[in-house]
């Protein structure tokens, strides 16, 4: 009966949920600048009657206290937008801010979690435990989850659950795989220093172009020859700044890149290898190297029991055909900081629909979602919380 009640409450609130999402879409805010968004969420929670506290500098942690004693589950949505120019002129809720856009669907995450919260609040007397609602800033720069953890968001939490709208997954399909879901995402900057000089007299120089080029050509052998082929890994050098003029041999080169993998031991092996390659290549050409490696997000590893519970919820709420097995992605997600020490799962909510032009890649200027997916997303938030709090095998 409660499951049906949750379904009905969310179905009846569909239009308000879509209106809220479209309002956020018109007014995107970048990481840690989500002041208006935070205020809108606070106002919505006030209207429902849910208690909350603001986090610094933006974001909200809210709590629904159940009528019966039990565990506490955390439901998370991210709220920030991207520095992307929206290119979609077909919608009447296009971003009103030049160069800023909800190009990853966080506006829909926020609206879905608020709608789920409203439904859960209305059945709070029957909840055997508590539901913590997290509206997290700054996911796009992998700093928001860390900030929330420092401000106590995980205190007394027993399980965590989140989701991401996903344009690569077809509409009416939801995935929540066991094990790896998102990769770790790290940043690296490598500075090579040689000895500049005239382009006509290379023998008097140490050419930073040669050093940087040799490094880029050789660094891929870390993945092909040092990492177990059964362990996925990516090393990408995405930017190289070197040289100033056609007849000047460069003294300095700056390279920037990223490393992605699903295994922390593999991650450390790659880090050490990159440093070794940089030092050895530099030495070979009589240059020096400085490697700055920044650890970004951890890999998102869905705890098996939590993922299986989510799969059961998906099948029972939406039918067996809705359950989908999406392959892990080497994209990054700072939801990983919630699941580092607490069991939980992260689902992918299908929104890809060529008929509605919602198949564009995330972070693209034409990105949009099929809003019909939002009802399932909101219900999945609420149904997972209800299922977790009511089962005894955890």
Give me the chain's average pLDDT, please: 97
**The domain that contains 35 carries what CATH number?**
3.40.630.10
> Which residue from 101, 92, 94, 118 is spatially nearest to 10, judged by alpha carbons?
118
Cβ atoms < 10 Å from Cβ of 290: 14
Residues 250 and 291 in one domain: yes
Residues 268 and 363 in one domain: no
> For the chain, how many helices (H) and strands (E)?
10, 16
Quote the pLDDT of residue 166.
97
Of the candidates 29, 34, 107, 139, the residue annotated as catalytic is 139
Give yes or no for residue 1 having a pLDDT over 90: no
Domain boundary (296, 314, 337) is at 296
Distances (CA, A) of 164 to 1, 36, 52: 28, 22, 23
pLDDT by residue (tens digit) across 344-353?
Answer: 999 999 999 9
**The domain that contains 238 carries what CATH number?**
3.30.70.360
SS3 of the chain: helix, strand, coil, percent, to 5: 40, 30, 35
Residues 103 and 203 in one domain: no
Residues 371 and 291 in one domain: no
Distances (CA, A) of 301 to 161, 198, 270, 315: 12, 53, 19, 21
Band of pLDDT at residue 392, cut at 50, 70 and 90: low
Give yes or no for residue 68 having a pLDDT over 80: yes
Name, in order, each residue with C-beta under 8 angstroms of 139's C-beta and a sequence gap of 6 or more. Answer: 31, 78, 80, 106, 145, 333, 334, 335
Band of pLDDT at residue 59, cut at 50, 70 and 90: very high
Domain of 243 in residue numbering reads as 184-296
Residues 314 and 281 in one domain: no
For 244: left if phi > 0, alpha if psi spans -120 to 50, otherwise beta; the answer is alpha
Quote the pLDDT of residue 372.
97
CB-based contact 139:70 (threshold 8 Å): no
Mean of pLDDT values over 56-78: 97
Of the candidates 13, 29, 80, 140, the residue annotated as catalytic is 80
Mean of pLDDT values over 103-115: 98
pLDDT by residue (tens digit) across 237-291?
Answer: 999 999 999 999 999 999 999 999 999 999 999 999 999 999 999 999 999 999 9
Give yes or no for residue 204 having a pLDDT over 90: yes
Residues 205 and 161 in one domain: no
pLDDT by residue (tens digit) across 71-96?
Answer: 999 999 999 999 999 999 999 999 99
CB-based contact 37:113 (threshold 8 Å): no
Residues 216 and 342 in one domain: no
Residues 93 and 25 in one domain: yes
Residues 307 and 177 in one domain: yes
Residues 21 and 162 in one domain: yes
Q: What is the sign of the dihedral through the CA atoms of 292, 293, 295 and 297?
A: positive
Residues 288 and 352 in one domain: no
Bridge-partner residues for 163, per DSSP?
347
Give yes or no for residue 130 having a pLDDT over 80: yes
Q: Is 139 a catalytic residue?
A: yes
Bridge-partner residues for 261, per DSSP?
184, 233
**Structural domain count, the chain:** 2
Quote the pLDDT of residue 288.
98
Residue 278's H or E segment, with its range, is: helix 264-284
CA 388 to centroid of chain Cα atoms: 23
CA-CA-CA-CA dihedral for 221, 295, 29, 24, to nearest 10: 80
Quote the pLDDT of residue 298.
94
Long-range contacts from 352-361, C-beta under 8 angstroms, 24+ separation: 352/166, 352/167, 352/168, 352/169, 352/170, 352/171, 353/170, 353/171, 357/88, 357/90, 358/167, 358/171, 359/167, 360/167, 361/167, 361/168
Band of pLDDT at residue 394, cut at 50, 70 and 90: low
Domain boundary (296, 328, 361) is at 296
Domain boundary (296, 325, 358) is at 296
Residues 207 and 176 in one domain: no
Give yes or no for residue 65 having a pLDDT over 70: yes
Quote the pLDDT of residue 330.
94
pLDDT by residue (tens digit) across 141-200?
Answer: 999 999 999 999 999 999 999 999 999 999 999 999 999 999 999 999 999 999 999 999
Quote the pLDDT of residue 393.
57
In a 3-state reduction of DSSP, which class is residue 22? helix
Give yes or no for residue 391 having a pLDDT over 90: no
pLDDT by residue (tens digit) across 286-345?
Answer: 999 999 999 999 999 999 999 999 999 999 999 999 999 999 999 999 999 999 999 999
């Amino acid at each position: 009966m409660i499951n049906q009640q949750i379904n009905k409450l969310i179905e009846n609130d569909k239009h308000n949920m879509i209106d809220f999402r479209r309002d956020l879409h018109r007014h995107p805010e970048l990481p840690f600048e989500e002041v208006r968004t935070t205020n809108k969420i606070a106002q919505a929670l006030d209207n429902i009657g849910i208690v909350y506290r603001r986090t610094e500098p933006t974001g909200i942690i809210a709590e629904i206290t159940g009528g019966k004693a039990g565990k506490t589950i955390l439901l998370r949505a991210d709220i920030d937008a991207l520095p992307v120019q929206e290119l979609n002129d077909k919608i009447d809720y296009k971003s009103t801010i030049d160069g800023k856009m909800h190009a990853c669907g966080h506006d829909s995450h926020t609206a879905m979690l608020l709608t789920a919260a409203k439904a859960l609040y209305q059945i709070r007397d029957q909840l055997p435990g508590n539901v913590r609602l997290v509206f997290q800033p700054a996911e796009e720069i992998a700093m928001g989850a860390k900030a929330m953890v420092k401000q106590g968001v995980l205190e007394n939490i027993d399980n965590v659950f989140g989701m991401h709208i996903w344009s690569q997954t077809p509409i009416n399909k939801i995935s929540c795989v066991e094990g790896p879901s998102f990769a770790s995402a790290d940043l690296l900057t490598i500075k090579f220093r040689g000895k500049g000089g005239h382009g006509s007299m290379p023998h008097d120089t140490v050419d930073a172009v040669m050093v940087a080029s040799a490094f880029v050509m050789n660094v891929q052998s870390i993945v092909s020859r040092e990492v177990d082929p059964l362990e996925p890994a990516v090393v990408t050098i995405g930017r190289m700044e070197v040289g100033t003029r056609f007849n000047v041999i460069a003294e300095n080169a700056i390279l920037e890149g990223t490393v992605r993998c699903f295994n922390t031991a593999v991650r450390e092996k790659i880090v050490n290898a990159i440093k070794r390659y940089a030092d050895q290549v530099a030495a070979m050409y009589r240059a020096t190297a400085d490697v700055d490696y920044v650890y970004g997000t951890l890999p998102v590893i869905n705890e098996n029991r939590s993922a299986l519970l989510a799969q059961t919820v998906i099948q029972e709420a939406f039918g067996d055909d809705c359950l989908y097995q999406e392959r892990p992605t080497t994209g990054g997600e700072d939801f990983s900081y919630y699941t580092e020490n607490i069991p939980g799962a992260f689902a992918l909510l299908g929104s890809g629909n060529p008929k509605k032009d919602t198949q564009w890649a995330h972070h693209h200027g034409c990105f949009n979602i099929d809003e019909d997916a939002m009802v399932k997303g909101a219900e999945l938030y609420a149904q997972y919380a209800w299922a977790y709090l009511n089962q005894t095998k955890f």
